[in-house]
Structure 1
Amino acid sequence: MACDVPSNLIERNKEAFIKHHPGVWAGLDRLGKAISSLVVENGAVTNIDLGDIRLYPEAAAGWSENQLREHLQNPDRVGFENPAHCNLSPVSRRLLQDINRYFETHPPGKIEDYPVTDAGFGYIFGVGLGFHLPGLIAQSRCRYLVIIEPIPEFIIHSMAAIDWKGIFEDAAEAGTEIHFLLGKEPEATIIEIERLIITKGQTFLDGSYAYIHYYSWPIKETRKILNERLKTYYASRGFFEDEVLMMSNTYSNFRRWPSHIISRKGHLEQDMPLFIIGSGPSFDKDLPYIKKWRDRAIVFSCGTSLGILLKNGIRPDFHVENENTPQLLNNLRDFHDEYGFDGITLVASTTVNPDIGELFGKRWFYFRSHLSSSALLNGSVKVLVGAAPLVSNAAFAVVTTLGFKNVYLFGIDCGRKPEQGHHSRDAVYYQDDYDNYLEGESLELLETEFTRLVPGNFGGQVLTAWYLDMSRVSLSGLRRVSGIELINCSDGARIEGAKPKAAASMELTYPPDRQKAVLSRLEEQLKFFNAGEFLESTNLQFHADACDNFVEAFRELMDRALEEDRSFWELEQRLIEFRNENIFEMKGVLSIIGGTYTSLIRLGAFGGNRIPDDRTRMKFLRFFIAGYRDACLWMACEIKTLLQEMAEKKPQLTKAGVIDAA
């Protein structure tokens, strides 16, 4: 039926979008011919005609009112069951112990399952005609409201049904920012949500609201992925003790080892094919083809795949390591004792254990992004982007930087088929006497982490774990911005933008045995530094002295917080402002405190924001601010010791950040 609604409402809504969300309107204005149409009955918009069916089972206004009522009675929320999501480390565990003792001596009474205040985000899946939106805005339950609509033309239809001008004004009055994500696939939507979380703040994800207005595959899939990503979002966030270790390792690596430095800049294009090899389960069936074409390609091994390759008679040109754990060093020593590393160049993050360097004849170091060591010790070297979360991501980031254009992936499965193991059969994890796991890890745990289905590289679906899925998404993003020809031979998860290719169908025409010439040409483009030379130009004394300024300013900041702040939200806003104002003068201490600076607030908010009584919650907030202040001041003093010893070029550093020293 033709639309017969007041044109002034549509025009007013158009003006509201142009004023409040001009970018959104620009996209809506470019939409082509609609595939759906409005249903108008007795002068009122009642539905959207999709052709064979209508969007709503009955008149949209009444149906939406009933749906909203049911939601408010039993809202869909993302909640955490315990503080494990708060990046617990020794310094935060000590504060958690103090919090537990406080609650034992000051029982708060009732504790709610979800936060009663300071929910950071709300996610609305589907606009349709939008009759549910005014009621959701009126509740004013979140700081950032994300409106997700896979079919953008529904926004146009809604402009004939609801008052968007009033919605924008009511949201602004309530202190709620509205963000639109329109017409995107589920994965792209999730990436945009994660960017928003990083930009707007990560502390108050706990208690986030979700509202599904109508069901479709894109909405159902987006909601499913979002729930899992939010539950695991904090798992990769940095913390103080790890930053201290990475600073110490970077300092020691440059003091002990002569090395070449990989910087993100233009390098001569490399035509020779390159293999990045991981230890995923599909490695086993591709092994004969890796051997067949080995002499026509540069080979990068990643992590534990080094041992698998050497065991099967393949010696890589480069070996990549990205982590700083003692388990990694133990594995490498075992591989070295059995096979030797002659002819293999170490390509590693500056943050790896310095003892790794003695196992290799040549070392190429790179700086990873978003680490304190990269912010404070990198000099003029540009950091690598996309080198996380796994070592395979680091390898891909390196080869894109070095100018390779034809890259093949083997054993980079990013998952497994239901009938497969989680690694190649020759991986160290399957050895009968292997016990070199991180604390809390085991073979059994590895086998239970595959909980999500994603599209397979050669069709069907594969199981993946959250960190493998993050790796897959990161590989896809870096391929997109680099423009590299990425060929995925791994029989695992599909990597968007990579071309699936069975290893059996490979055909390489590049001349054999050119590796040494290519490696020599690469090495000539990298800057070389003797042991101790790289850090000569870094002014660490400036950062050490700034720790004293931080202590004085932060103490005053927390005194004002004790007097003025009435919520964890206000406390965090104060801290964000302080960080932004001092990020250059106090870059050293603020970079190393890192994620702990905010994760401690998350720890306090986890318990405090579940206290329904306002007065009781305020008393706990005051207690927490004092404990938070003491923790940050202790960290600043430890950082002062670390940076001062580095400034004095001491060959051995005091082990800073050890909680027993407090």
Structure 2
Amino acid sequence: MTKRAGKLSPPALAIGWRNPRLLISPRGPRILSGFTGNCGKTPPLAMAKKTLVERNWDAFRKRQPDHWALLKEIGKPVSKLVTGDGEAVNIDLGKIRLYPEAGAKWTGDQIDQYFLNPDRITFTDPWHCNISDVSAKVLNRLTTRLIENGLSKGEGRPVTDTGYAFVFGVGLGYHLPELVDREICRHIILIEPMAEFIIHSFSAIDWGKVFNAASKKKMNIYFLVNDNPEEIVDIIGKVILKIGATFLDGSYAYIHYYSWVLKESRLLLNQTIKNYYVSPGYFEDEIIMMSNTYGNFTKWPFHLVTRKPYLEQAMPVFVVGSGPSLDKDMPYIKKWRDRVIVFSCGTSLGILLKNGVRPDLHVENENTPELVDNLRKFQKKYGFDGVTLVVTTSVHPDVGALFENRWYYFRAALSSSVVLVAGAEPLLGADPLVSNAAFAVSAAVGFRNIYFFGVDCGSRVGGAHHSKDAVYYQDGYDNFAEGESLEFIENQLNREAPANFGGKAMTSWCLDLSRLCVSKLQRLRQVNLFNCSDGVKIDGAKPKAAAAIKLTNPPAMQKNVLSQIERQLLYYEAGAFLDPIDLAKDIEGCDVFIKGFKKMTAGAKRKDKGFWDFEQRLEKFWNDNYGELKAVLKITGGSFYAILRLGAFLGNRILDEKKRLEFMRYFLDEYCETCVWMARETKKLLADIDQRKTELSQVGVTTPDP
């Protein structure tokens, strides 16, 4: 929950005015949606000294030209500036004013009280750093070092190098010079629902001085003008993903004035903050996915789904997840079975087969042993005749043995989708869950009419988390992935969201991320997408009760449609896809990486003053070498950055600057040793694949310290 600044009465916002959406970076703005209106006249330039307002218009024209243009489009603001003694005092909203008293004084008091107990986004432990066995070993050594040096009780939050300040509300802007002067972060994101308030601020503060002061302190200022909380948080996420999440821990959240938009945005930011720490994978997992991709390509013939254009298919597709609303919709799936392609997702395969519905396509995304075990049980009980397996290349090769027909696709961002892709294009939007993959595949191969069932992305308040026939509810079921349990799944549903058919539903950070990814892909694909699930609302998917479905297309055409699609897919016999792949340069690149990485970290030990400086050096190393070293960088990259976040989490809580620097130098030694080890293990794997060995060497296995 957002902290209130002492006993100050918050200013109020009562105008409901729809603004264009704008995101501005330090190198210029990017308009996210259009706006209309007649451009206002440029303020006349005084013959003598320019006024504050004129100087501010000039500052925006120079520093933020697109934002300057947006503000000019507004024309005459609806609200009115209130002045007194030649200064901007308040903003008149009609029946109420923005501030309960003079804006400068009120803001000064607010600033003072805020910093007595600032609202900061902090993590209580380092497990958000995507810790795996490799990084856990580093964590153990780092914590031992802290204990030995009497630093195990570090500050509860970072004392340096805070990444972000999310400032909810610009208003007259009297708080902004102070926030910059305090140098509270590296990136200030200014969120303002009312663009015209920025115009009013031109009469209050000197924006040129604010921009100059931020530049001298190497701080970046971003503007985000929007009055939709979900869109605000979505854009914030894009900024964080672009800049990086290493220093998100400890970021400030400052609500300047009260409005529902700002309050809701702040709450949503708290709920979604974990999404921004989602890593593209860690080293051990990338090793598994590389090995599995190699195994799948050498063992099985398959068709490959890529991003090339396919003929449109009018036949509807029912994408079926395992959400709780599937139970009540099962009769409608049966009713229309002969007129649709049924696409099962993960554990919904067993649910459908148990209820007498044999899907046409079945999708899997994970590489876990539990997945293989579940499928073997389903196959033994029901058989998979007539079901085409649709999977990412990185699933365990044993999955392919259970099906007669296979479609593979590459998931974007995985190392195997860079190193072993052989010119094919990874599928867009196939993450994070199997329902995302089913939607991505369906849209990619030309289906235009797609219906979601049991894709609840959560559940109704107080309801079950899965269909009653899901394997999780079977007596004695204990085939959960490591760290999971029935109770674990239930406890994940801790976030409230709008429901598909009205009201509220509960979701988790991962299910919510899945929903957002569906919406993002739908904006690109623009298919006819219907959500029949009684769970969380998915933007871009039209809510539709299953009982309202009416289909008139001819029945029993599934085989013809799938055959037509397969004729457009590229087909490969076992081993053939790997024929053009030569990894000699990638193998050599591992040695180049090791030499360059040692040199880079040695330079950091001599010159860098903190983790922020080192991250800039690390980013340069990555960008300068990605073209030549992309194989080793993609395979090690997840842990490469996760371990840095781990070091920054611990080191930036050390209050004493000298001891903090000593800790960072110790970290750099451990970091370099670990990254060099990962590169050597990567080289072994690449060499085995390049030699087309039948059995790959066991690599990437770390042994814990005694």
The TM-score bracket by the shorter chain reads: over 0.9
Aligned partners of 2:50 and 2:539: how far apart in 1? Answer: 43
> Which consecutive residues of structure 1, in runs of 5 or more, have no partner in the other structure?
none
Q: Which moved more, 1:108-117 or 1:211-220?
A: 108-117
Give the C-alpha shift of residue 236 in structure 1: 4.6
Q: Which moved more, 1:136-145 or 1:31-40?
A: 31-40
Aligned partners of 2:80 and 2:638: how far apart in 1? Answer: 49
Give the C-alpha shift of residue 109 in structure 1: 7.3
Give the C-alpha shift of residue 647 in structure 1: 0.5
Asked if structure 1 preserves the Cα contact closer than 8 Å seen for 2:280 and 2:413, the reply is no
Give the match's secondary structure for 2:304: strand
Aligned partners of 1:566 and 1:36: how far apart in 2? Answer: 47
Partner of 1:489: 532
Aligned partners of 1:23 and 1:294: how far apart in 2? Answer: 52
Partner of 2:576: 533
For 2:665, which of 610, 619, 622 is the aligned residue? 622
Aligned partners of 1:272 and 1:522: how far apart in 2? Answer: 12
For 1:284, which of 296, 306, 327 is the aligned residue? 327
Residue correspondence of structure 1 range 394-543 to structure 2 within 5 A: 394-543=437-586
For 1:584, which of 607, 627, 649 is the aligned residue? 627
> Which consecutive residues of structure 2, in runs of 5 or more, have no partner in the other structure?
1-42
Partner of 1:95: 138
| Aligned amino acid, residue 593 of structure 1 | T
Is 1:226 aligned with 2:269?
Answer: yes
Partner of 2:113: 70
Partner of 2:359: 316
Is 1:145 aligned with 2:188?
Answer: yes
Partner of 2:235: 192
Asked if structure 2 preserves the Cα contact closer than 8 Å seen for 1:273 and 1:407, the reply is yes
| Aligned amino acid, residue 483 of structure 2 | G
Partner of 1:638: 681
Partner of 1:19: 62
For 1:118, which of 148, 161, 181 is the aligned residue? 161
- Deviations 1:497-541 (CA, angstroms, capped at 9, x unpaired): 211110011101111111111101100000000000001111212
Partner of 2:288: 245
- Sort the Cα spacing of 1:610 and 1:460 in 2 relative to 1 into closer, same or farther, 3 A: same
Asked if structure 2 preserves the Cα contact closer than 8 Å seen for 1:80 and 1:231, the reply is no
| Aligned amino acid, residue 652 of structure 1 | E
Give the C-alpha shift of residue 184 in structure 1: 4.3
- Deviations 1:326-364 (CA, angstroms, capped at 9, x unpaired): 111111111101000000000000010110000011100
Is 1:331 aligned with 2:374?
Answer: yes
Asked if structure 1 preserves the Cα contact closer than 8 Å seen for 2:279 and 2:638, the reply is no
Aligned partners of 2:139 and 2:243: how far apart in 1? Answer: 25
| Aligned amino acid, residue 400 of structure 1 | A
- Sort the Cα spacing of 1:95 and 1:632 in 2 relative to 1 into closer, same or farther, 3 A: same
Aligned partners of 1:583 and 1:450: how far apart in 2? Answer: 39
| Aligned amino acid, residue 53 of structure 1 | I
Asked if structure 2 preserves the Cα contact closer than 8 Å seen for 1:572 and 1:598, the reply is no
Aligned partners of 2:538 and 2:129: how far apart in 1? Answer: 30
Aligned partners of 1:584 and 1:661: how far apart in 2? Answer: 34
Q: What's the TM-score once normalised by structure 1's chain length?
A: 0.98
Partner of 1:29: 72
Asked if structure 1 preserves the Cα contact closer than 8 Å seen for 2:240 and 2:276, the reply is no
- Sort the Cα spacing of 1:314 and 1:136 in 2 relative to 1 into closer, same or farther, 3 A: same
For 1:380, which of 420, 423, 426 is the aligned residue? 423
Give the C-alpha shift of residue 34 in structure 1: 3.0
Give the match's secondary structure for 2:252: strand
Residue correspondence of structure 1 range 126-205 to structure 2 within 5 A: 126-205=169-248
Give the C-alpha shift of residue 73 in structure 1: 1.7
- Sort the Cα spacing of 1:32 and 1:378 in 2 relative to 1 into closer, same or farther, 3 A: farther
Q: Which moved more, 1:548-557 or 1:275-284?
A: 548-557
Partner of 2:690: 647
| Aligned amino acid, residue 300 of structure 1 | F
Aligned partners of 2:279 and 2:219: how far apart in 1? Answer: 28
Give the C-alpha shift of residue 32 in structure 1: 5.7
Is 1:211 aligned with 2:238?
Answer: no
Partner of 1:609: 652
- Deviations 1:61-103 (CA, angstroms, capped at 9, x unpaired): 1100000111122111111111101111111011111112112
Give the C-alpha shift of residue 660 in structure 1: 2.7
Asked if structure 2 preserves the Cα contact closer than 8 Å seen for 1:110 and 1:612, the reply is no
- Deviations 1:248-282 (CA, angstroms, capped at 9, x unpaired): 11111101110000011211011111110001000
Aligned partners of 2:76 and 2:384: how far apart in 1? Answer: 63
Could you say what the CA RMSD is over the residues aligned between the two structures, in angstroms? 1.6
- Deviations 1:263-316 (CA, angstroms, capped at 9, x unpaired): 112110111111100010000111111110111111110000000000000011
Aligned length: 659
Runs of 4+ displaced beyond 4 Å:
none
Q: Which moved more, 1:140-149 or 1:30-39?
A: 30-39
Partner of 1:301: 344
Aligned partners of 2:97 and 2:68: how far apart in 1? Answer: 25
Is 1:84 aligned with 2:105?
Answer: no
| Aligned amino acid, residue 82 of structure 1 | D
Give the C-alpha shift of residue 7 in structure 1: 7.3
Aligned partners of 2:435 and 2:516: how far apart in 1? Answer: 12
Give the C-alpha shift of residue 452 in structure 1: 1.2
Give the match's secondary structure for 2:627: coil
Asked if structure 1 preserves the Cα contact closer than 8 Å seen for 2:168 and 2:190, the reply is yes
Aligned partners of 2:442 and 2:72: how far apart in 1? Answer: 41
Give the match's secondary structure for 1:441: coil
Asked if structure 2 preserves the Cα contact closer than 8 Å seen for 1:119 and 1:208, the reply is yes
| Aligned amino acid, residue 334 of structure 1 | K
- Name the structure with the higher helix share: 1
- Sort the Cα spacing of 1:236 and 1:299 in 2 relative to 1 into closer, same or farther, 3 A: farther
Aligned partners of 1:550 and 1:558: how far apart in 2? Answer: 12
Is 1:365 aligned with 2:365?
Answer: no
Give the C-alpha shift of residue 110 in structure 1: 5.6
Aligned partners of 1:182 and 1:298: how far apart in 2? Answer: 43
- Deviations 1:175-227 (CA, angstroms, capped at 9, x unpaired): 10011110241121122111111211221111111100012111111111111
Aligned partners of 1:26 and 1:250: how far apart in 2? Answer: 50
Give the C-alpha shift of residue 237 in structure 1: 3.9
Asked if structure 2 preserves the Cα contact closer than 8 Å seen for 1:281 and 1:421, the reply is yes
For 2:315, which of 264, 272, 275 is the aligned residue? 272
Give the C-alpha shift of residue 41 in structure 1: 2.8
Aligned partners of 1:451 and 1:266: how far apart in 2? Answer: 40
Aligned partners of 1:264 and 1:34: how far apart in 2? Answer: 47
Give the match's secondary structure for 2:589: helix
- Give aligned-pair identity as a percent: 53
Aligned partners of 1:447 and 1:310: how far apart in 2? Answer: 25
Aligned partners of 1:84 and 1:141: how far apart in 2? Answer: 25
Give the match's secondary structure for 1:15: helix
Give the match's secondary structure for 2:440: helix
| Aligned amino acid, residue 165 of structure 1 | G
Give the C-alpha shift of residue 661 in structure 1: 9.8
Give the C-alpha shift of residue 113 in structure 1: 0.8
Aligned partners of 1:472 and 1:33: how far apart in 2? Answer: 39
- Deviations 1:136-186 (CA, angstroms, capped at 9, x unpaired): 010112111101111111111111211111111111011100111102411
Asked if structure 2 preserves the Cα contact closer than 8 Å seen for 1:243 and 1:594, the reply is no
Give the match's secondary structure for 1:375: helix
Q: What's the TM-score once normalised by structure 2's chain length?
A: 0.92
Aligned partners of 2:639 and 2:679: how far apart in 1? Answer: 12
Give the match's secondary structure for 2:81: strand
- Sort the Cα spacing of 1:369 and 1:32 in 2 relative to 1 into closer, same or farther, 3 A: farther
